A = this chain, B = another copy of it.
Amino acid sequence: MQFTKAEEYGMQGVLHLADKGKDVVTPLSEISEARDIPEKFLAKIFQSLSRSGILRSHRGVRGGFTLAKPPGEITVKDVLEAIQGPYHLTKCIPDPDSCPRSDSCAMRELLVTAEERLLEVFVKHTLEDVVHMERSMSAPSPEKPNP
């Protein structure tokens, strides 16, 4: 697997919204410029996210996008799956019939486990978590917490 640009951009865009707060309406143009993302591409990604109920769009003057729910209630997995659909290492995992060998395939068992481990990480972190991490990483003066 490889992360696609769509996932990359989508996460960045959503994190930008999460960072500004749940109800701040932000137009594509701002996000696109701030995070260096092709605007039309981001538009397409955000459309998927709107349809999935993660974002809410607001048309017209001073329109833009907001989160549909508080950042603490949206997991990273929610965002990623809304962008490119369910993630699977092979087709035989969601659909065992796609491979005639799947009944007695030990590799498949391994892959199921591997996939679970991977997704656990994305399920256990919400946008709020990531924003907090981001803020603490770019703290202004981390070397003087207690002068």
Give the size range of A's interface with the partner: 35 or more
Interface centre among A111, A114, A122, A131 (most CB of B within 10 A): A114
Which of the segments A1-9, A40-48, A60-68 contacts the partner chain?
A1-9
Are B122 and A114 within 8 A (Cβ)?
yes
A103: chain B residues within 8 A (beta carbon) = 137
Partner of A110, one of B1, B90, B125: B125
A2: chain B residues within 8 A (beta carbon) = 1, 88-90
Interface residue? A74 (CB, 8 A): no
A137 to B107, CA, bound (A): 11
Are A104 and B137 within 8 A (Cβ)?
yes
Instruction: Given the known inter-chain contacts A117-B121, A120-B117, A138-B104, please indicate yes or no for A3 contacting B89, CB distance below 8 A.
Output: yes
A100 to B106, CA, bound (A): 42
A107: chain B residues within 8 A (beta carbon) = 11-12, 15, 130
A105 to B118, CA, bound (A): 19
A111 to B76, CA, bound (A): 11
A104: chain B residues within 8 A (beta carbon) = 134, 137-138
Interface residue? A146 (CB, 8 A): no
Instruction: Given the known inter-chain contacts A3-B89, A8-B90, A90-B8, please indicate yes or no for A106 contacting B118, CB distance below 8 A.
Output: no
